[in-house]
Amino acid sequence: MCGILAVLGCADDSLAKRVRVLELSRRLKHRGPDWSGLYQHGDCYLTHQRLAIIDPASGDQPLYNEDKSVVVTVNGEIYNHEELRKKLRNHKFRTGSDCDVISHLYEEYGENFVDMLDGMFSFVLLDTRDNSFIAARDAIGITSLYIGWGLDGSVWISSELKGLNDDCEHFETFPPGHLYSSKQGGFKRWYNPTWFSEGIPSTPYDPLVLRRALENAVIKRLMTDVPFGVLLSGGLDSSLVASITARHLAGTRAAKQWGTQLHSFCVGLEGSPDLKAAREVADFLGTVHHEFHFTVQDGIDAIEDVIYHIETYDVTTIRASTPMFLMARKIKSLGVKMVISGEGADEIFGGYLYFHKAPNKEEFHRESCRKIKELHLYDCLRANKATSAWGLEVRVPFLDKEFINVAMSIDPEWKMVKREQGRIEKWVLRRAFDDEQQPYLPKSVLYRQKEQFSDGVGYSWIDGLKSHAAQHVTDKMMQNAEHIFPQNTPTSKEAYYYRTIFERFFPQNSARLTVPGGPSIACSTAKAVEWDAAWSKNLDPSGRAALGVHVSAYADEATNVNSIVQATNVNSIVPSKMIDTIPRMEVSTSGLKILS
């Protein structure tokens, strides 16, 4: 991931202003340590901190059209750039960068080209011919982006809060799937999929179609000119991504440059569930596996750095970001610059354990839609910033636009948890990859119960955080919390502890408003808390708060744990008849093809 900062129409083209913009841009240098660029046109400044993934030799930014009248600074990857170049045959490209197509698409199609981009991106484009500009963010918000306004009438765009919070009167999260146009004077939504209206879909479940869509999503993300690997927690989502990557790596340009053996990475406390499961998957797939251990104290010592980089005080995000932050540093030290990960599947398929209590398919689907729409505030924010803190890029195939369209068109009745039929959470995804002839994963992993990342790295991690917070936050502090923090008042000592650190780094009211709030159980939205009356008395974002569902639910509150464990035994949830008739797939020069 790169870092971008744009200051537009600031009514100051002095040397002092240029120096200030450079100073602010350097706050994003961790995102792009490979090169820095700044373009100034009058009182407009476009800066870029580059992490070179595609065309490292010549793809420095900002990028330009032929006569340099259109300038763009981009953070992201455009996976269909080669296809788009073919539509722009009359244009001359300066670099081999995937992002080089953006200025030329603007020349050809005006502002209405963003939905042609297949990838993850945030960009600012300046048209020097009339001093107009546009800014846009990818469909789901995989890349982080903020917008702010100065008292002098300037508009600021930055990959992170720290690039603009000290110089803007007001700033906020740039909404995913939107375009900001100076000509129009505001936002307009460019991403309008069918599922966004939350209407209930009715397409029958076809496991082969779903499998093919995910295979395609992973394959297109193997586009790289630098060493890469996969994040492997041992859970279903990351394991499937690793399995698909391992199958299709051999036929890619990346394999020719860096070899055909895949590298996988996992982090956890000694003896944690994720370490054990990831090792099993790595052995099954034959990856070069890197296992990183951390202690509770290691994590606690990193909390302040994590909050500074992640820019949130949300409890579950900080819990999960800390191990990822530590792992990203280790990965980068090995010379790896890009990883592929499994974020997004739980939102799309209702994988969080609280979905077990969905009252009907309509509520199930609406909750899934709500979760996807909020990903940019939680898991996307975590994955993007925890890795970018060390100049590491993360790609997320489950959030591929076409894959989401396929998955969200399935009749949600098929996604519902029905234990009596052997259907646990994410059953449609598990079944799509349950291939007897060419197994993607061991059965024990394919049907492993959902484990949130902050739990899977080791249950004592969260317990240790709570204990640490209790030593620093008194009961009296909690009694006055609503007066100290009237916005999103902390309801636990752990939340209070994180909030005080966040406020030190980002004291502005605009900053605290960028963080979501409200009650949650096991990562649910506030609306889903209504599904079970008992949940309102046990609000905690950990999956272990899903009492009666998680096999290791909080012991002092769960009942009949033995029966729960028995109910979720792998042998009881694996369908009696496995899918052994789905053809296997491989990559050819023309893309994905099915082999009988």
User: Could you tell me which residues are beta bridge partners of residue 595?
Assistant: 584
- Residue 106, pLDDT > 90, answer yes
End-to-end CA distance of the chain: 39
pLDDT of 554 reads 53
Is 231 known to sit in a ligand binding site? yes
Q: Closest Cα to residue 478, out of 465, 466, 495?
A: 495
pLDDT at residue 534, rounded to an integer: 85
Binned at pLDDT 50, 70 and 90, residue 450 comes out as: low
Give CA–CA dist 435/71, Å, rounded.
49
Is 341 annotated for ligand binding?
Answer: yes
Binning pLDDT at 50, 70 and 90, where does residue 587 land? very low
Rg, C-alpha atoms of the chain = 24
For the chain, the structural domain boundaries read 3-192, 195-456
If DSSP codes are grouped into helix, strand and coil, which group holds residue 593?
A: strand
The region of weakest confidence among 20-24, 239-243, 517-521 is 517-521
Q: In terms of CATH architecture, what is 3-192?
A: 4-Layer Sandwich (3.60)
pLDDT band at 130 (very low <50, low <70, confident <90, very high): very high
Q: Which of the following is catalytic: 2, 44, 369, 523?
A: 2
Q: Report percent pLDDT > 70 for the chain.
A: 89
267 annotated to bind ligand:
yes
Is 2 annotated in the active site?
yes
> What would the two tokens of residue 267 be?
């982090």
Predicted confidence at residue 522, as pLDDT, reads 81
Judged by average pLDDT, the poorest of 119-133, 221-235, 452-466 is 452-466
- Rounded CA-CA distance 267/125 in Å is 39
State pLDDT tens for residues 475-508: 999 999 999 999 999 999 999 999 999 999 999 9
Q: Is the pLDDT of residue 582 over 80?
A: no
Residue 360 has pLDDT above 90, yes or no: yes
195-456 topology per CATH:
Rossmann fold (3.40.50)
Residue type for 254, please?
A: A
pLDDT score of 588? 36
The yes-or-no verdict on residue 414 having pLDDT over 50 is yes
How much is the pLDDT for 455?
62
Give the mean pLDDT of 231-243: 96
pLDDT, position 557: 39
* Burial of 319: CB neighbours in 10 Å, binned 0-12, 13-18, 19+: buried
Q: Is 275 annotated as a binding residue?
A: no
Top-confidence residue, 522 or 254: 254
Determine the pLDDT at residue 544. 56
Task: Quickly state the pLDDT bin for 258 (edges 50, 70, 90).
Answer: confident
State yes or no: 473 annotated in a binding site: no
At 572, is the pLDDT very low, low, confident or very high (cuts 50, 70, 90)?
very low
What is the b/e burial string over 351-381, where b = at least 16 CB atoms within 10 angstroms of the residue's CB? bbbbbbbbeebebbbbbbbbbbbbbbbbbbb
CB 108 within 8 A of CB 66: no
Over the chain, what is the mean pLDDT?
90
Given this model, what pLDDT does residue 57 score? 85
CA angle 390, 375, 154 (to 5 degrees): 75
Mean pLDDT of 44-57: 93
Lowest-pLDDT range, 199-213, 294-308, 323-337, 582-596?
582-596
- For residue 283, the surrounding DSSP H or E stretch is helix 273-285
Closest alpha carbon to 124 in 224, 11, 41: 41
pLDDT tens digit sequence for 526-548: 899 999 888 877 767 665 555 55
